[in-house]
Amino acid sequence: MTKASSGRTPARYAPAGGTTAPGTRALRLGSRRSPMAMAQSGDVARLITERTGRPVEIVGMTSLGDVSSEHLTQIGGTGVFVSSLRESMLRGEVDFAVHSLKDLPTASPAGIILAAIPERDDPRDALVGRDGAKLADLPAGARIGTGSPRRAAQVSLLRADVTCVPIRGNANTRLAKVRNGELDAVVLAYAGLARIGFTALVTEIFGPEDMVPAPGQGALAVECQTGDRGLIELLAAVDHPATRAAVSAERTLLAALEAGCSAPVGAFASQPAGTGRLLLDGVVLGIPHPARGVPSTMATLGGMGAVPPRGLDVSPSSEMIVVREHGEADAAAPEWLGRDLAARMLARGAARLLGAPGFAVASGATTNRDDAHD
């Protein structure tokens, strides 16, 4: 079990004018202490106070994932961050918690409910290159840092002659590796950089057509205990139905693929205004697991003359297989859409990629998780 130490922070959000009803206790919001986590928790706290008049106090917490130098795969993945906040909530130390939705496991634990999903921020991935470089400007052999196999795989499709290097640490730590010359660039979530005021450093933003985001990327999750009906009703004031529908489709796809957060899977849903329709794009990338064999439609890996079936691409340089699918449905049926797209992707061979033990992002190094809050 991950033990979290907590302590009060100066962050407290009160209604405009500074007055609240007599006897009104400030809600305690549990948050990791990293700058990005505190920033996004502050955004949610302000929104709750603005819409409900209820003051919110942030309780900063430190978990094993924040202090360990081990790779996340060695200490339980990004779940070590989520678990510590959930444990504190169940012990009654905080009333609710805020997470990056892309780090949240698709299965909900007993006693906890996803009470609100505020309006999503920009879901795209961004490159921060040294000396203002975009991906196309980097020299052959350039070293690009990322803790995400999904990003590494898609970068390699865009530029097969660069090397993706696994990195840990918060955004400040990663950006410093570019400044000091250890890396030529890093790829991070644009929303995270925006929350900590670093968008001026971004040298390129990748559209979903070039780099499909992680399921839930750019969105925040607000959790509380299932038995606290009053708090659930209060938190509903910051829920954004269109965002919930989009991320529900993405996360259902992830769950139906039985991939958890552990494989290079991208999913992005959007809802064109006024259509009542939900559009979903999904991608699974990787090299087939040898124990699962290669289907006949994938027999020529990397062959320039190969003609892959619809929705199945092969990277000529790396022998990487890319299973892509697109679907749409009524906006009221996001879970159905996610399951349907996953079924089609599995039928095209995605399961052979999801069975791989990890996606190699550098010689001798593998990773199989998106890092938290990146």
- Give pLDDT tens digits for 93-139: 999 999 999 988 888 889 999 999 999 999 999 999 999 999 999 99
Structure tokens at 56: 């919110």
pLDDT of residue 248: 98
Would you call 283 helix, strand, or coil by DSSP?
Answer: strand
Q: Which range has the worst mean pLDDT, 25-39, 174-188, 281-295, 305-319?
A: 305-319
131 is catalytic: no
Average pLDDT of 233-238? 98
Structure tokens at 87: 């444990």
pLDDT of residue 305: 26
pLDDT of residue 363: 34
Global pTM reads 0.83
- 21, 108, 126, 228 from 244: Cα distances, Å: 32, 15, 23, 21
pLDDT of residue 24: 81
On average, the pLDDT of the chain sits at 82
pLDDT band (50, 70, 90) for residue 339: very high
H runs (alpha helix) in the chain? 35-52, 64-67, 72-75, 79-90, 149-158, 171-179, 190-195, 229-235, 241-256, 334-347, 350-354
Active-site residue, selected from the candidate residues 66, 95, 103, 121 = 103
Amino acid, res. 151: R
Share of the chain above pLDDT 90, in %: 63
Considering only residues 356 and 45, tell me which one the structure prediction assigns the higher pLDDT.
45
Q: Which range has the worst mean pLDDT, 31-40, 225-234, 316-325?
A: 316-325
Average pLDDT of 335-364? 75
